[in-house]
Structure 1
Amino acid sequence: MEVVKKEVILLTLLCFSLRDVLVDGKRKITAMDKEDAVEKKLKLLNKPAVKTIQSEDGDIIDCVDVYKQPAFDHPLLRNHTITLRPSEEPFTKAANADSNSSANLAWQVWRKSGSCPEGTIPILRIEKRHLLNTNSLETYGRKPRHGVTKHEIHLPNKTILIGVEDLNEVSVLVGAGYSYLGIQARINTWNPRVEASDEFSSAQIWLRNGPFRNFDSVEAGWIVYPDLYNDTATRFFIYWAAGANTGCFNLLCSGFVQIDPSIALGARIDPISQEWGDQYIIELTIWKDLKDDDKWWVAYGRTTFGYWPASIFRGLTKVGTVALFGGIVYSPRMKQQLPHTRTAMGSGRFAFDHWGQAAFIGQPRIMDYSKTFKYPDPGQTFSTHTDCYSGENYAEVQFTEPRFYFGALAGTCTASKKDPLRILKCNVGSYFIYTE
């Protein structure tokens, strides 16, 4: 009898163990499994360092041999020969283009703590804490995709279609041409409130080509994204996509080839603009080298720090057809009706608050086969949800080039749709009445 009892107990324990391991006939991922998977992912992401820098903001920067960077894990780049500089750098001075030149260039915090030697590139170290809370190690570093919604943009001489990812709100200046070879802008830096860790807020420039539901994209700007970086700091980023399921931020997958030791992708930006205080910008350029047209180069200020080989794309192998300047808010809780997420775009102020309060894009530029950067004309402002996020081209001084101001929603907003008047109330302290 005692033997039978022991067998029953052992069988019961075995059943409970199997229940923990098998769910619906599939193996359940245990805590130990996830730890192992995280360790493997960390080894893949973090390359051996020649030198390590502990930044005062808590970031760890690894100086990695330029020939051992993540780019060469890409199957199309395993025999790639690095190009150390473009044949030419089409930077513009645009000395009189900005009607208010009191914005200063923001830089990266880690530079105060050291520098990487020549022949290496700085890579922000990914730590275990960055990966433990991610929903999927496989898609870590990639923007969430939940489908794409078609929007019509009415330009003076034509109507174009652009795709906006579902669960995204955007406020942008749109340029739509035939052959864009570059994009450039000065992006005002802020630290917007992000309501939940799986949401993000960014200010950026980007070039696209391809079907609106499955486009290619190259992007650069600043972002606040707690799930990706495990904090709410404003950080510099680049991003690329080749269709819906390929691409990533920074160096979190293979594809981008970095050549310069002074720019760390994903590092914190400093200083940040203050309301009615000093204003700071990052100046970014993405362009195609016409003499070596198989690369999309990227520069921060006047520092060209790397490129995407055109071979990793489908639609962007030659040119871009849509240029976008502005802000994005992503939230998995985004709703078509109000209220939805209170995550702020830009500074958390509406576009009409202008200089010193609203975020802006200064000197937006596109480059075509003329090989010179020019204002995107025709251009059109577009916002997916004007009750909560707005955009406006506005020049403080008459007969000068406008800035594109954008942003809002640091709190709850409601809209009353009475008559032709709509009253927009937001607890950030603005009351705005406008006619449709």
Structure 2
Amino acid sequence: MDVYDFPNLRKGESIAAQIWVSDADKKNQVISGWEVDPEQYGDSKTHFYVDWTTDLKDGCRNLGCLGFVPVNIATITPGDTLEPSTGKISLKIFKSKEDGDWWLHYGHDINNLNPVGYWPKSLLPNMPDHAGNIVWGGTAGSYNGQVSPPMGNGQWPRSNSAASFQNVQYVDFNGQGYDPPGYSLHAIETHRKCYQTGVFQLRVQGNMFHYGGPGGCTS
């Protein structure tokens, strides 16, 4: 996913790009990506983050509670700042065949990924074998009544320079990536006047799509 910075974001505004992995009912969820959230971090820098929930009530972001377990050899820790020069980050979330836990790997391209940590299988009883739902995309929000900020880099996905997700893959039981079947993919747009998603493109050089928009919604 492309990484951007928004140094002028105000408290109450937030922008993120992430991957959600959940059961079919979306009660058990694990999430990772980047976000800008002055209310959460006390600044308007871009942060790498993780999140999880078991019933849409408990759980927490980053290391705010017992849940996600970081590994000592990780090159990044949830909550760390990402510089705009990072350009892109690559994430892989998968259920390990060896220990049954849900692992997160991070890097700057799909051929250079290293473990960040894992969500223990005991946290996610609704995903004992596999995920039922996977989402790649962006979010943007503000206090009700405030004008919402941009999503992605603020450009509509009709532009090739808009924010994008690239090398989009599913992961099989052996941890290997494969192309998602076209019939399994669906676009979700909750505020189409402010944000949209582009057409998913199956490409030899990496499956991808653009997303985003200038914002401006007030509800």
Whether these two folds match at TM > 0.5 is yes
Compared with structure 1, are the counterparts of its residues 352 and 288 closer, same or farther at alpha carbon in structure 2 (3 Å cutoff)?
same
Pick one of 210, 213, 218 that aligns with 1:408: 213
Aligned-residue offset at 1:188: 0.5
Q: Which amino acid aligns with 1:315?
A: N
Q: 1:185-233: per-residue Cα shift (whole Å, max 9, x none)?
A: xx10012477541231100111011535xx1111110000001110110
Which protein shows a greater Rg? 1
Give the number of the structure whose residues are more often helix, by fraction: 1
Distance 2:154 2:46 in 1: 14
Q: 1:281-310: per-residue Cα shift (whole Å, max 9, x none)?
A: 0011111111221x1111112211211101
Compared with structure 1, are the counterparts of its residues 393 and 249 closer, same or farther at alpha carbon in structure 2 (3 Å cutoff)?
same
In structure 2, the partner of 1:198 is 12
Alignment length (residue pairs): 210
8 Å Cα contact 1:191-1:272 kept in structure 2: no
Pick one of 345, 350, 354 that aligns with 2:156: 350
In structure 2, the partner of 1:250 is 62
Pick one of 325, 331, 340 that aligns with 2:142: 331
8 Å Cα contact 2:24-2:133 kept in structure 1: no
Aligned-residue offset at 1:413: 6.8
Matched, 1:288 2:95: yes
In structure 1, the partner of 2:128 is 317
Give the number of the structure whose residues are more often strand, by fraction: 1
Distance 2:170 2:13 in 1: 30
Identical amino acids, percent of aligned pairs: 28
Pick one of 5, 20, 23 that aligns with 1:209: 23
Q: Which amino acid aligns with 1:271?
A: P
Distance 2:8 2:167 in 1: 27
Q: 1:6-29: per-residue Cα shift (whole Å, max 9, x none)?
A: xxxxxxxxxxxxxxxxxxxxxxxx
Question: Please, what TM-score do these two structures have when normalized by structure 2?
Answer: 0.86
Question: Please, what TM-score do these two structures have when normalized by structure 1?
Answer: 0.45
Task: Mark the runs of 5 or more structure 1 residues left unpaired by the alignment.
Answer: 1-186, 274-279, 335-339, 415-436
8 Å Cα contact 1:193-1:343 kept in structure 2: no
Aligned-residue offset at 1:393: 2.6
Aligned-residue offset at 1:316: 2.5
In structure 1, the partner of 2:110 is none
Aligned-residue offset at 1:239: 0.8
In structure 2, the partner of 1:300 is 106
Pick one of 162, 176, 200 that aligns with 1:372: 176
Q: Which amino acid aligns with 1:299?
A: H
Distance 2:204 2:9 in 1: 39
RMSD: 2.5
Aligned-residue offset at 1:376: 2.0
The DSSP-based 3-state class of the residue aligned with 1:351 is coil
Task: Mark the runs of 5 or more structure 2 residues left unpaired by the alignment.
Answer: 108-112
